[in-house]
Amino acid sequence: MSSAKPIRLALLGCGTVGTEVVRLLHDQADDLTARIGAPLELVGIAVRRPGRQRGDLPVDPELFTTDALGLIKRDDVDVVIEVVGGIEPARTWLTEALRAGKSVITANKALLAEDGGALHDAAAEGNADLYYEASVAGAIPLLRPLRESLHGDRVTAVTGIVNGTTNFILSSMASTGAGFNEALEEATELGYAEADPTADVEGFDAAAKAAILASLAFHTRVTAADVFREGMTGVTAGDMASAKEMGCTIKLLCIAQRGADSVSVRVHPAMIPLTHPLAGVGDAFNAVFVETEAAGPLMFYGRGAGGRPTASAVLGDIVAAARNKLTGTRAPSESNYAKLAVRPIGESLTRYHISLDVAERPGVLASVAGVFADHEVSIATVRQSGREDDAKLVIVTHSAPDAALAATVEALSRLDIVRSIASVLRVEGGAG
C-alpha cells in the first residue's frame, strides 16, 4: 500500500498488553500503513524467557531476545514500546532510547509518576517523542485531550475513577450490600483483583495516575510522592448504606484541584451524589471528570485496563510517533511552565461525613457541636438516631481545611460522651 520506508518498532515486554499490541499490529497492518503513510515493522521483542510458548502469536520467533538494551540501541529501531512496568530497568532503557532520539511509547504509570520529569528531559535532549496514553485510564483517550485539546483553556479540577479493581469492589458493595472482604473475594475470583491487591485497594495505583493527570492538567511537575493517598479498605457496608441514605454512593477518587497559585492532588474514598456523572460509572470502568474555566464540565469514560483496551491506546501512540518520524517532527513537548506549588492535604478544602456512636444523654449534641465550633468547622447537617442508652450521630460538614477537619475528629475521639467514631469519609461533588 505504500512504498515508504517502514517505521521500525522494538517492543519491550510481551505479557497481557504486549501480546495484544503484537496482534493488533498484525491484524490491522493494512489500515495502519494507510493511516501512517508507511508500514510498521516489528524488529524485536525483549522478554525474560524467549523460549516460552506464545501460542498462536503472529510473530517470527526469531524476534524474541533477552537483550533489551541491545535491541534499543540497534540503529534500525525508530520507536521503542515499553509494556514491562516498574521503575528499573525500564527507566534506564527508556532514558537510553530517548537520548538516542528514539520515540518512546510507554504504559508505565509508576515510572512516569516517580520520574516523569527525567524522561521528559531525556526526550527533549534526544528530540524524541514520549507518549503514554495507556498509563492512565487504559483505552480512554484522555492524555492527548489534556496535552492538546484543552491547551486553550484552564483546567480547574480533575476528578477521576482511575482504578478498575476498586471501582468493581465499590460498585458491588453498593449494589449487593456486601462488605469489603466479600466484594474483594468476588473481584479476585472474576480476575478483577490481583492475588496481592495492595497497589489497587490502598490507592497506590490511583495515586500514580493522579500525579500524571495533575502534571498534564496544571502544567506543573507532580510526582506520586506529592499525592495524598488513603486506601478504601476501611469502607464498610454501613458506610455504603449511610451514603445511600444521603442519596450518594462511595467511589475511590483521584482529585486534582487548582488553587490561585497552587494545586492539591489526593486519592481517597469519598461520597458523591448519585446525580454526579461519576456515580453511574459501574463495574471495572474508569471515568475522568474534567472541569475547566471555559469548556465547563467534561467526562471521559471507558475501560481502564485489560490487554486489548490498553493495547488500543498504545497503538494510537505508535501511529502518532510513526507519523512524526515520517514528517521529521515531534509532538508538543512537556508543558511544565506553571510550576505551581503542591499544597499538602491539610490545606485542601474538603468536607467530612462523620458517624459517631455517642451516649444518649442531654447535652450530647451541644458538646459535639462545640468541638466543631472550636475548630471553626461549620456543620451542614446532623442526623441523630437514638436507642435506649446508645445513640448515633451522623454529621456532614461544610468545606473546611482538611487539617481542621482531622483535628475535629481527633478532638471528638477524646470526648467522654463519644463511644466510638464509626466512620469518617470525605464528601465530594456537591453531595450532602
Catalytic residues: 209
As a whole number of angstroms, the distance between CA 239 and CA 256 comes to: 24
- Smallest separation (angstroms) from its own copies to the CB of 389: 45
- Smallest separation (angstroms) from its own copies to the CB of 212: 16
* Closest C-alpha among 135, 417, 167 to residue 286: 167
**Applying CB under 8 A, which residues contact its own copies?**
20, 24, 28, 31-32, 34-35, 133, 138-141, 144-145, 148-154, 219, 277, 280, 292, 294-303, 306, 308-309, 311-320, 323, 327-330, 332, 335, 337-338
As a whole number of angstroms, the distance between CA 64 and CA 44 comes to: 6
| Closest CB to its own copies among residues 33, 95 | 33
CA 421 to chain centre: 30
Q: Which residues, listed in sequence order, are joined to residue 382 by a DSSP beta bridge?
A: 395
- Smallest separation (angstroms) from its own copies to the CB of 150: 6
| Closest CB to its own copies among residues 94, 287 | 287
CA 272 to chain centre: 18
- Smallest separation (angstroms) from its own copies to the CB of 186: 20
As a whole number of angstroms, the distance between CA 84 and CA 111 comes to: 11
Is residue 14 marked as binding? yes
Is residue 238 marked as binding? no
Is residue 18 marked as binding? yes
| Closest CB to its own copies among residues 292, 399 | 292
- Smallest separation (angstroms) from its own copies to the CB of 7: 13
| Closest CB to its own copies among residues 133, 205 | 133
Phi, psi of 105 (to 5 degrees): -115, 125
Is residue 19 marked as binding? yes
Is residue 92 marked as binding? no
| Closest CB to its own copies among residues 328, 362 | 328
Is residue 109 marked as binding? yes
Residues of each annotated binding site for L-homoserine: 194
